[in-house]
């Protein structure tokens, strides 16, 4: 019930305004109570995982009994913008950095976490996790407004800005999987696990998936895939894939499941769940 939520976090890359927090709009529609924590979290494609940890920590501290993380991503605007740029500039360098953008998809998700006191049925348990960062590579994948080269606007002297999406896919793959390997080793040590029964990764594409699974020594048949028909839906990709995996009975009771996220920054977060 809305009145049971002690926290509501909006965690998408896409948002309505710089302020107020988009979470406020969601909270107003949901009808959360006055003393609930309501705010946004932003961390590229890891936003929902960060939100999950935020809510889980509040529950562990005894501050709240339940909280919800929501996210909504739309690829239409940035894909249309990138296509217009490619048609306008017709340059292979632009095309190379645009490819990742064209794999984007649109989706939404909501994740509810509780202290386990709301029902007696079987419950999935968040065991723990690890996060790592390599911010030296923060410029490899960027989306936002950047000043356009050239003269300032004559009437005001202001710079002209345009929306830009730039991804060096080769470098993101190289440095991202290296960070992922370090995070994976720390993840197993932190949770005291020797391995996992299933994995659900951030849904980027075949090359990234095959490379990271091979590096981590994980079997492809134990990893759930959704990017081939949903595309890369940003922060929604991993929780949506996990929900589909459960719906299709890919995840079974008792499974140790690794939720493996790697995002721009570069940041990596891995969460362990007992299904």
Active centre residues (catalytic): 19, 45
Phi, psi angle pair for 43, to nearest 5°: -160, 55
The single residue listed with the structure tokens 């990893």 is 223
DSSP-derived letter for residue 5 is -
Q: Helix (H, G, I), strand (E, B), or coil: what is residue 204?
A: coil
Q: Helix (H, G, I), strand (E, B), or coil: what is residue 68?
A: strand
First to last CA, the chain: 23
Cβ-based neighbour number of residue 160 at 10 Å:
11
Work out the burial of residue 102: count CB atoms within 10 Å of its CB; fewer than 13 is exposed, 13-18 middle, 19 or more buried. Answer: middle
Name the packing angle between helices 47-60 and 237-247 (round to 10°).
80
């Amino acid at each position: 019930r809305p009145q049971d939520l002690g926290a509501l976090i909006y965690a998408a890359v896409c948002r309505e305004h710089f302020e107020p927090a988009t979470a406020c709009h969601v909270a107003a529609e949901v009808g959360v109570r006055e003393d609930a924590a309501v705010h946004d979290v932003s961390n590229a494609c890891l936003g929902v995982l960060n939100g999950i940890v935020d809510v889980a920590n509040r529950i562990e501290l005894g501050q709240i009994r339940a909280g919800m993380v929501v996210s909504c991503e739309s690829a239409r605007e940035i894909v249309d913008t990138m296509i217009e740029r490619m048609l306008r500039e017709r340059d292979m360098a632009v095309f190379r950095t645009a490819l990742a953008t064209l794999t984007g998809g649109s989706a939404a998700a909501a994740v509810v976490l509780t202290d386990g006191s709301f029902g007696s049925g079987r419950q999935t348990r968040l065991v723990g996790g690890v996060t790592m960062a390599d911010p030296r590579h923060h410029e490899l994948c960027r989306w936002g407004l950047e000043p356009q080269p050239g003269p300032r606007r004559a009437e005001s002297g202001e710079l002209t800005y345009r929306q830009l999406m730039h991804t060096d896919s080769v470098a993101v793959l190289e440095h991202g999987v290296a960070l992922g390997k370090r995070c994976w080793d720390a993840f197993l040590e932190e949770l005291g696990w020797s391995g996992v029964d299933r994995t659900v990764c951030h849904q980027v594409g075949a090359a990234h998936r095959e490379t990271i699974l091979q590096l981590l020594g994980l079997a492809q048949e134990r990893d759930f895939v959704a990017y081939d028909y949903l595309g890369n839906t940003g922060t929604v990709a991993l929780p949506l894939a996990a929900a589909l995996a459960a719906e299709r009975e890919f995840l079974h009771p008792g499974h140790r499941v690794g939720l493996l996220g790697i995002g721009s920054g570069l940041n990596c977060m891995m969460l362990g769940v007992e299904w």
